[in-house]
């Protein structure tokens, strides 16, 4: 039976998958600079005798595993390959050798798992019809997002894949388990940059000034109504400001105040409306109080929707592979992920791979200097992805 064969291969290749993960972990590279990472992936694909194209949108790669009758159907798998500007604090043999850069979001795990899945599927290519396109994607961590660039280069064309699967580590979920969610899953994320301009002067004589600090205070409070009064309760929305700079002093009213924040939601139409409302509120308040404001919305990734039937099917596949007790339903996650771009174009399913092991002290969250995984997750990361791809290509 194919499932048993995939499990056996995932076990057989485990040491290699782990070695690949450790190599990637020790040699992390920042978004859009994944040159050595791309070379490493290319060397492995060559070794596995899998056709691939490199240099897509810079450092992206696309591999094709061709079964019989390769034109008959195409599906896609995706892993992201970039790392973060974090100084690793783990004391492990595979600790980052690139000072200040760290695979703190598990993209080394995603890449090693997809390489493992490629090797497994290449072994099984006589047993399915169609083509499995494997996307090794650059630049997930940084806007505009490597997904959007690779899509522009045509990775979802000629032919368009019927569906795409991606996975992400989940340090809250114990190793051995995976999680799924249909429909709305991850948020769009837009950056807000606001400059509130008044007229500075002596703090003792506010009547001669237009106080941008007071205007900013009103704007920050008023903008929350977009979330609490204008957003539908059915569509989660978040507005947070993490930077407020007013460089005055106890007795100095500054000329201007600078604010930065983030707006996140899970509906593209509402997202656009919310942007307009926020700009209108901020400009209106500033003007009513005698000042003005410059409001820039820098659009980030769209929201990520998991196609319902595809996700149900993948979840059933995971239950077959891991058992009902090891497959959980996920909550909405207000982080953003550029896999969302694929989900706007084709049927997509983005699922989570458990990597936590409290007994071994592996509990740190992603994007922290002590993030790590229980490497047993790699056998599932590769094997389950191969199994889900196999089921999907069979139809």
Q: How far is the CB of 67 from Ni ion (least distance, A)?
A: 30
- Please work out, in degrees rounded to the nearest 5, the angle formed at the alpha carbon of residue 259 by the alpha carbons of 258 and 261: 160
Please give the sequence-ordered ranges of beta strands (E in DSSP) within 101-202, or none if there are none: 131-137, 163-174, 178-180, 183-186, 188-197, 201-202
Six-digit token string for 216: 């900013």
Choices 94-102, 105-113, 286-294, 350-358 (CB under 5 A): range interacting with Ni ion: 105-113
Q: What x/- string results for residues 348 through 367 when contact with Ni ion is judged by CB under 5 A?
A: --------------------
Choices 100-108, 173-181, 215-223, 276-284 (CB under 5 A): range interacting with Ni ion: 100-108
Choices 99-107, 131-139, 285-293, 368-376 (CB under 5 A): range interacting with Ni ion: 99-107
For Ni ion, the closer CB: 203 or 369: 369
For Ni ion, the closer CB: 291 or 381: 381
Beta-strand relationship, 51-56 and 74-80: unpaired
Contact 141, 321 (CB under 8 A): no
Choices 102-110, 170-178, 239-247, 315-323 (CB under 5 A): range interacting with Ni ion: 102-110
SS3 of the chain: helix, strand, coil, percent, to 5:
40, 30, 35
Q: How far is the CB of 313 from Ni ion (least distance, A)?
A: 24
Give burial (CB, 10 Å; 0-12/13-18/19+) of 232. exposed
For Ni ion, the closer CB: 105 or 196: 105
| Measured distance CA(306)–CA(204) in Å, rounded | 57
Closest to 173 measured CA to CA, from 366, 352, 372, 382: 352
For Ni ion, the closer CB: 111 or 131: 111
For Ni ion, the closer CB: 114 or 285: 114
Q: How far is the CB of 185 from Ni ion (least distance, A)?
A: 14
Residue whose CB is nearest to Ni ion in the complex, by number: 105
Closest to 189 measured CA to CA, from 244, 137, 239: 239
Q: How far is the CB of 350 from Ni ion (least distance, A)?
A: 11
Residue 187 binds to Ni ion (criterion: CB under 5 A): no
Six-digit token string for 12: 């057989």
- Using DSSP's 3-state secondary structure scheme, residue 136 falls into strand
Closest to 368 measured CA to CA, from 104, 124, 155, 153: 104
Q: Is 140 a catalytic residue?
A: yes
Contact 180, 348 (CB under 8 A): no
Instruction: Give the CA radius of gyration of the chain.
Output: 24
Choices 21-29, 58-66, 101-109, 143-151 (CB under 5 A): range interacting with Ni ion: 101-109
For Ni ion, the closer CB: 206 or 365: 365
- The catalytic position among 29, 82, 267, 372 is 82
Contact 244, 216 (CB under 8 A): yes
Q: Is 82 a catalytic residue?
A: yes
Among 65, 84, 105, 138, binds Ni ion (CB under 5 A): 105
For Ni ion, the closer CB: 81 or 155: 81
Q: What x/- string results for residues 56 through 95 when contact with Ni ion is judged by CB under 5 A?
A: ----------------------------------------
Q: How far is CA 54 from CA 17, 51, 157, in A?
A: 21, 10, 16
Residues in contact with Ni ion, counted by CB under 5 A, come to a total of 1
Q: How far is the CB of 281 from Ni ion (least distance, A)?
A: 33
- The catalytic position among 80, 140, 190, 267 is 140
Torsion sign over Cα 160, 163, 167, 172: positive
Residues assigned a catalytic role: 82, 140
For Ni ion, the binding residues (CB under 5 A) are 105
């Amino acid at each position: 039976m194919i499932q048993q064969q995939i499990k056996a291969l995932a076990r057989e290749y485990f040491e290699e998958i782990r070695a690949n993960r450790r190599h990637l972990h020790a040699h992390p590279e920042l978004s859009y600079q994944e040159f050595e990472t791309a070379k490493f992936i290319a060397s492995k694909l060559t070794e596995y005798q899998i056709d691939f194209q490199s240099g897509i949108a810079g450092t992206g790669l696309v591999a094709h595993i061709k079964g019989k009758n390769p034109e008959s159907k195409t599906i896609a798998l995706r892993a992201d390959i970039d790392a973060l500007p974090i100084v690793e604090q783990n004391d492990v043999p595979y600790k980052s050798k690139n000072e200040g850069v760290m695979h703190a979001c598990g993209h080394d795990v995603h890449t090693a798992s997809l390489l493992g899945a490629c090797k497994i599927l290449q072994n099984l290519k006589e047993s399915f019809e169609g083509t499995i396109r494997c996307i090794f994607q650059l630049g997930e961590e940084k806007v505009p997002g490597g997904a959007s660039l690779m899509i522009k280069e045509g990775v979802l064309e000629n032919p368009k894949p019927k569906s795409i699967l991606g996975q992400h580590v989940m340090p809250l979920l114990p190793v051995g388990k995976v999680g799924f969610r249909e429909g709305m899953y991850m948020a769009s994320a837009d950056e807000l940059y606001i400059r509130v301009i008044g007229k500075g002067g002596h703090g003792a004589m506010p009547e001669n000034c237009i106080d941008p600090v007071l205007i900013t205070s009103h704007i920050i409070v008023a903008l929350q109504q977009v979330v609490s009064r204008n957003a539908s309760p059915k569509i989660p929305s978040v507005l947070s400001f993490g930077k407020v700079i007013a460089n005055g002093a106890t007795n100095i009213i500054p000329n201007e105040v600078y604010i930065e924040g983030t707006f996140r939601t899970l509906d593209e139409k509402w997202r656009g409306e919310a942007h307009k409302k926020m700009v209108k509120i901020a400009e209106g308040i500033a003007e009513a109080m005698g000042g003005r404001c410059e409001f820039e919305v820098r659009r980030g990734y769209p929201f990520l929707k998991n196609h319902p039937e595809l996700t149900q099917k993948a979840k059933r596949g995971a239950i077959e592979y891991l058992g009902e007790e090891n497959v959980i339903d996920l909550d909405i996650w207000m982080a953003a992920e550029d896999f969302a771009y694929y989900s706007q174009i084709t049927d997509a399913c983005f699922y989570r791979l458990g990597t936590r092991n409290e007994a071994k002290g592996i509990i740190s969250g992603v994007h922290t200097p002590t993030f790590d995984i229980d490497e047993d997750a790699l056998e599932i990361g590769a094997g389950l992805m191969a199994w889900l791809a196999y089921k999907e290509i069979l139809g």
